[in-house]
Structure formats: C-alpha cells, structure tokens
Chain A
C-alpha cells in the first residue's frame, strides 16, 4: 500500500501545526464559533448532540496494521473505547474533546494518517473498491488513481469553498462495489481499443434529498490528463453550482438543471484550456504510486481445498469470503453487524485483533468497506479456519455478508444533530428479528439501508429495502422504500406508502420479505423479484 515520502509527511505534520493554532485561536476567543466551525469541519470535527465527533480519513479504505492499531489506541485513549466505521470508508469517534484534537492529529500523523477534508464543502475522502488488488474481475488496481486524486485534492486552493461537499469514487471492474454512480464524480477505469488504461467519467450522482444516478460525460480520459479533466469538472461546478440554497447546491442539481450535455460541453471547453496549463503530473508519478500497490508476494501453487468439517465455519466461508485472483487465496469480510449490534461499530480490542490478524495472515493490510465492514483482502485459504476461530471468539464472525442483517445504518438521532429519528434501534430490532442465519440465507442477497433523516447518510435510496426516519409531528416515523441498488444495476428506491412506527417498520420489512418468498422464481434476489412484479403486491400485503 501507499507510503508517505518526505513531502506527504511534511503535509500532515503542517496540518497538525495549523490546526493546533486554529484551536488555540478558538480557545482564546480570537476566532468566533462561526468562523471556527468552517475550519474544524475541514478537519472532520463536528459538534454533535452530546460531544465533538472526529472523522479520520482512511483513503480509499485501505490501511495497515500499524494504522489500525493507532485507531484502537485513539478509541481507548481519547474516546469511550470504540469507533464507528463509515460509508465513506472512514472512521468516526463520537466522544471527543476539542482541546485534545490537535494531539489526536499528531498521533495520527505518526502513522501517515490525518483528518484533512473529511468534512466541509470540499473534496472528501476518495472511496474505492474494497477488493481492489485482489478481485478476480478487476482490470487494474484503482487505488493508485485514487491516490493521485487524493494528493491533487488535498488543500487544492481553488476548491476549498465549493457550493457543497464533493465525493469521488474510483473503481476498476464492471461489478460496482463502491456505489460509484451515486457519487459527485464516479470514475471507472476502462481500457480503450488499444488496450490502454483510462478513466470513464460519470458526474452528478448522489443521494441526499434528491437522489440521482450520475450520467457518463466522457468515455475515456487518458491517465496523463486525469488531473486536468477532474479540475475542469470541478471548476465548472465551483463557478456555476447553485449557492442560493444548500439543498440544491450539489453538482447533481447543476448537471440536472443545465443537462448532462451542456455540462459536458462546458467541461470540455474548460478542459481544452486546462490541459495546456501543465497541471498534470508526469505519467512517472502514477507509476511511482502504482509501485506501492504491487502484489504482495503471493505463494504459487496453493491448494483451494478448505476443511469444512466445522459447520459454523463452513457457513462463514460460504457467506463471508470472496474469490481472489490468486489460486489458494480468498478475501475475507469481517462483519461489523452482529445480531443486535450497532452497524459499523467496533471496540478498541476488536480493532486491535483485526490489526493483529492482518499482520499475521493478510500481508499487513486491511480495508474498510462502504457497507461498514472490514476486509482482509489477501488470505491463504489454509489460514481461514485459524482466522475464523479468533474472530468468533471476539464476536466478529457473524456470517451475514450481503444478507438482510448486513445493513448500512447512519448514527441517527442517538448521535447526530441533523437526524429526525433513531436508526440504530431499528437496525438492532431487524437484525434480532432475522437473527437465524438459515432464514437470512434463504432470503439471499438483500441490501437493507437505514437513514435517520432525508440527508440519506444511511443510503436508504440505494437499498433493495430502504428505511427513512422522519419526524411526524414530533413522533419518529419510518418510511419504507423498495427497489434501490448501489451496484452496477444501480437504481433509486421508491417509497411504498404511509410510514410506520419503530416496531411497525420492523414488521413491514418482514412482510415484504414474505411477499418475495412467495413470489420469487429461480435464482431471483429480492430486488429482481421486485423489479419483475412491481410495487403493487408489496403494497397490498402492507396496506391491503
């Protein structure tokens, strides 16, 4: 994985010094809270319902054991002993003191980490495929491109005060594991007719109040022009994105209002100008970065045999491992969705254990997934049982990847100052209702996503089943949505009908899964059946 050189290290060290000075000026009163707010947000520091929350960047979700241990150390030393892995492949701490934040950043900087631009109206952490470098179906590792973009976007002087936040994802396979087209910019690496790698640009996707699927605006951007093309996309947005209404300020609204064709025309015009300005690093820079992402020394000729004599282990292998490009290896997903747990939460001890396992069994590397789980990307199949035993002892061996209890949920009204409703209790009750693994596996792949308000941090628009918490005259109310997807079959879910109370929505989820079980045909997932039979049968069962 990527390692800092002296320039990268100087950058994060400088940030620590700068933020320490900003906190000092806040504490001595020379900065008002209003002035400081924008500065702390640029560093991922929110003021939530009960305390400050700090969001730490995990670029494209990849980190080393050493970095993972640091996350555990911070949870233990500065928080209440746990952290929350997020849908941007980052981690958040919920109980932070402002005064200690510069020290936390200084500790992070010792392991090449930071919280730069994890909030604010700027380019956020760049996300990617959590199986990058391991998946059998990718045409290249997307992370060097993401790293190139990370460096370009870090403290980009022109794009620090965009109309609104800006999220970029990079993938490199036809299978989309990163919700690519629901990003402000989604990039899919593709090969042109000559077999040369380049970037296909999708611009103007997003969730939030107005969900949109990003249209393709360019089929192929050569590697050596990636930065100037991205810069052109951003400049058009910075100049013409709406600033009169924060709910209409994302780039998706601009692209929608002027049309993808007109947006593309403006970008191309800007790009023609920009590519003459010397903005693009030489191809040697992408090559330099790519060198850090070379395959670790995979052993050749390993057996694909797995001893499946322990039935619980066998279920976990079937559910939570993914094919690896190298024979004898697999990618393991560690579920952070135990029955009755808080999706994405992990204790300091669990974080340390995952780091230890990565160091011992997985070439010292971990991934955070946008679905709030942890991946060990390169594991020998012969080691799976030993890994499973240790995970199981730590409550980390839930065999539910991509099943109904592997849900995304935002922190909701238990933590978040924007929320209208509590997402976590709904998530907990659903996972308890469907606790039986056999029942979940019978339901098959089912992406359930829960947001506690219309800002959609829990990706409810993209759920096969989505749940949206709203405030109805002072009472929490939950709307049910069906038919969304964040994958390559991307679609936006639709609201079924009137909302439910907390227990009512748990019952409603069960009802719609029963409709599916009755109606499904061979091999259909929940969402396939929904697409075939439409909303009516579900509506009838819920309200009929």
Chain B
C-alpha cells in the first residue's frame, strides 16, 4: 500500500489494496478504490456502502480535479477514508482538508513542522464545504451552515 504519512482519522488507515477505478466500476467488490484525474467519481456513489477507502491520486499538484472528486464524495455522504496520494504539497493541505481529505500519502514526505504551521494560519473560512466548519457568514448571522 501507499505510505500514509498523515492521518486525521480516529481509526487507522485502511490497508486494503486499492482497485483501479476501471476494475471497480466493471464490478469489483473491492472495499478500496483509487481514482485518477478525469475519472468520474460519481460512478462510485451507488456503491459507497461497500467502500472504506478512496484514494485520489494527484500525478501533478497543479491538476485540481481531485478537489472536486473529494467534495462530491463527501457531499454524497461518504464517511470512509479519503486519501490524497501523489504530488501532494504542504501548501495544498488546508484546501485538501476542507474538501474532505483525511489522510495523506505524499510521494515526497512533508516536513511536519511546516504542516503544522500551514494548518494553523487560517482561523476561519468564507465558504461552507463538506468539512463541517461553519462558514464566516454563518458566524456573522448566527445561522447554521
């Protein structure tokens, strides 16, 4: 399996080997699946009950499709492990977390001091996302977001 360097989950990282997206949608009963940019994550939504790990690969950090993939999974109620792999950089972590990623297996290990700093700069956020953190507008108007 890929090496999980950082995990924000209470449970341990899933150790199952991941099925490719192609194999999974062809009818695999795997509990772990790996998706690449350009693969339509919505094809997984009718199988969420059987999945405990989705690995979203970032072959190059500049390709942001994986952020939408993660959001779509979380919006659909997926609560299993959502792991970012590949070219994962410290300065993307706060955005990846907000999109629902809760474990990270970067190709190049991150400096944990830098990670801690990066995760602590921003106290609040403007948007409501699937991470459950109340948006600034919700705090301003004391409404649920």
Tell me if chain B binds chain A: yes
The residues of A with any CB-CB pair to B shorter than 8 Å are 5, 7, 10-11, 14-15, 17-18, 21-22, 25, 30, 35, 38-39, 121, 151-152, 154-162, 235, 238-239, 243, 273, 277-279, 281-282, 284-285, 288
Q: Does B16 contact A (CB under 8 A)?
A: no
Distance, CA A11 to CA B122, complexed state (A): 7
Q: Does B99 contact A (CB under 8 A)?
A: yes
Q: Knowing A30-B111, A282-B137, A282-B143 are in contact, say whether A235-B123 is a contact too (CB < 8 A).
A: no
Q: Which residues of B contact A17 (CB under 8 A)?
A: 121
Q: List 22 A-B contacts (CB under 8 A).
A: A7-B124, A7-B139, A10-B124, A14-B123, A21-B114, A25-B114, A151-B137, A155-B122, A155-B125, A157-B67, A157-B94, A157-B98, A157-B99, A157-B125, A157-B129, A158-B95, A159-B67, A160-B92, A160-B95, A161-B92, A235-B68, A282-B137
By Cβ-Cβ distance, the 10 closest A-B pairs, closest first, are: A161-B64, A157-B98, A281-B137, A157-B95, A18-B121, A151-B126, A7-B136, A158-B67, A14-B121, A285-B137
Query: Nearest chain-A residue to B117 (Cβ)?
Result: A21
Q: Would B62 and A281 count as touching, CB distance under 8 A?
A: no
Q: Which residues of A contact B128 (CB under 8 A)?
A: 277-279
Distance, CA A160 to CA B65, complexed state (A): 10
Chain B residues 79-127 with CB under 8 Å of chain A are: 89, 91-92, 94-96, 98-99, 111, 114, 117-118, 121-127
Q: Which residues of B contact A160 (CB under 8 A)?
A: 64, 67, 92, 95
Distance, CA A243 to CA B38, complexed state (A): 10
Q: Would A155 and B126 count as touching, CB distance under 8 A?
A: yes
Q: Which residues of B contact A161 (CB under 8 A)?
A: 61-64, 67, 92
Query: Nearest chain-B residue to A38 (Cβ)?
Result: B62
Q: Which residues of B contact A22 (CB under 8 A)?
A: 91
Give per-residue flags for B129-145: 1 if the beta carbon is below 8 A from chain A beta carbons, else 0.
10000011111110111
Distance, CA A126 to CA B107, complexed state (A): 36
Q: Does B71 contact A (CB under 8 A)?
A: yes
Q: Is the interface of A mostly helix, strand, loop or mixed?
A: helix
Q: Beyond the given A14-B121, A160-B67, could you list 18 further A-B residue pairs with CB under 8 A, ordered by the A residue number?
A: A7-B140, A15-B121, A21-B117, A21-B121, A151-B136, A156-B126, A156-B127, A157-B67, A157-B95, A157-B125, A157-B129, A158-B64, A158-B71, A161-B92, A273-B75, A279-B128, A282-B141, A285-B141
Q: Which residues of B contact A39 (CB under 8 A)?
A: 91
A486: shortest Cβ distance to chain B, in Å? Answer: 30
Give the residue of B64, B91, B111, B137 whose beta carbon is less than 8 angstroms from that of A159. B64
Q: How many A-B residue pairs have CB under 8 A?
A: 106
Query: Nearest chain-B residue to A150 (Cβ)?
Result: B126
Give the residue of A21, A238, A282 whose beta carbon is less than 8 angstroms from that of B64. A238
Query: Nearest chain-A residue to B145 (Cβ)?
Result: A278
Q: Which residues of A contact B61 (CB under 8 A)?
A: 38, 161
Q: Which residues of A contact B137 (CB under 8 A)?
A: 151, 281-282, 285
Distance, CA A160 to CA B129, complexed state (A): 14
Q: Would A281 and B135 count as touching, CB distance under 8 A?
A: yes
Give the residue of B64, B89, B94, B145 whose beta carbon is less than 8 angstroms from that of A162. B64
By CB atoms of chain A within 10 A, which of B62, B64, B118 has the most?
B64
Distance, CA A154 to CA B125, complexed state (A): 9
